[in-house]
């Protein structure tokens, strides 16, 4: 025979707490509007961080574009037959790759080792203004990239 488990007495909730409560508890009255203030402060503090990330993205993209232009320019110069046409080809390739992105573009072509099996080195410097970035601050940044390409051993190169 089993003995029945005695029922636990029901506890009464204090007034103002419970599903049928019409008056909110006193603690809820003290916290009114705190989430709104916290959200407003979070938005104010995170907005400059978003602008900083966007600015860093644009500047990083400028550096990548200059590296790409230097590689394309050195490749174009290495396909030329003479040193003078190599300089022209490198300048044209860098200008085409960075069209509209630079305030000033400076391309330097080193053809001192321009012979069969030699190399040609191109250095590209592109001045990017930072006024168009978010925040509109004055100033500029000049990423510089250099790339070296080998010359073909079997081509007809005239120094």
Tell me the pLDDT tens digit for each residue of 58-105: 889 999 999 999 999 999 999 999 999 999 999 999 999 999 888 899
Quickly state the pLDDT bin for 110 (edges 50, 70, 90): very high
Number of domains observed in the structure of the chain? 1
CA 45, chain centre distance (Å): 20
Is residue 82 domain-resident?
A: yes
What is the percentage of the chain residues whose pLDDT exceeds 90?
Answer: 47
pLDDT at position 121 is 97
Is residue 81 domain-resident?
A: yes
pLDDT at position 58 is 83
Is residue 31 domain-resident?
A: no
CA angle, corner 28, sides to 27 and 34, nearest 5?
110
DSSP assignments along 36-72, one per residue? HHHHHHHHHHHHHHHHHHHHHHHHHHHHHHHHHHHHH
More confident residue, 4 or 78: 78
Range of the domain at 120: 65-152
pLDDT at position 124 is 97
Is residue 135 domain-resident?
A: yes
Q: Round to whole Å and give the CA distance between 33 and 68.
A: 53
Mean pLDDT of the chain: 84
pLDDT at position 104 is 93
CB 98 within 8 A of CB 127: no
Is residue 33 domain-resident?
A: no
Is residue 35 domain-resident?
A: no
User: For 15, phi and psi rounded to 5 degrees?
Assistant: -65, 140
Residue showing tokens 């402060």: 41
Quickly state the pLDDT bin for 48 (edges 50, 70, 90): confident
């Amino acid at each position: 025979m089993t003995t029945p488990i005695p029922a636990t007495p029901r506890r009464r909730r204090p007034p103002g707490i419970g599903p049928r409560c019409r008056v909110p508890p006193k603690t809820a009255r003290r916290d009114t509007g705190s989430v709104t203030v916290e959200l407003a402060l979070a938005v104010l503090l995170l907005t400059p961080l978003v602008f900083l990330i966007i600015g860093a993205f644009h500047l990083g993209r400028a550096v990548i574009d200059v590296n790409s232009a230097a590689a394309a320019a050195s490749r174009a110069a290495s396909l030329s037959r003479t040193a003078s046409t190599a300089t022209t080809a490198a300048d044209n390739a860098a200008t085409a790759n960075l069209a509209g992105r630079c305030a000033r573009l400076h391309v330097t072509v080193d053809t001192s080792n321009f012979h069969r099996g030699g190399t040609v080195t191109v250095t590209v410097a592109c001045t990017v203004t930072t006024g168009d970035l978010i925040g509109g601050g004055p100033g500029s940044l000049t990423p510089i990239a250099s790339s070296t390409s080998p010359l073909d051993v079997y081509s007809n190169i005239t120094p």
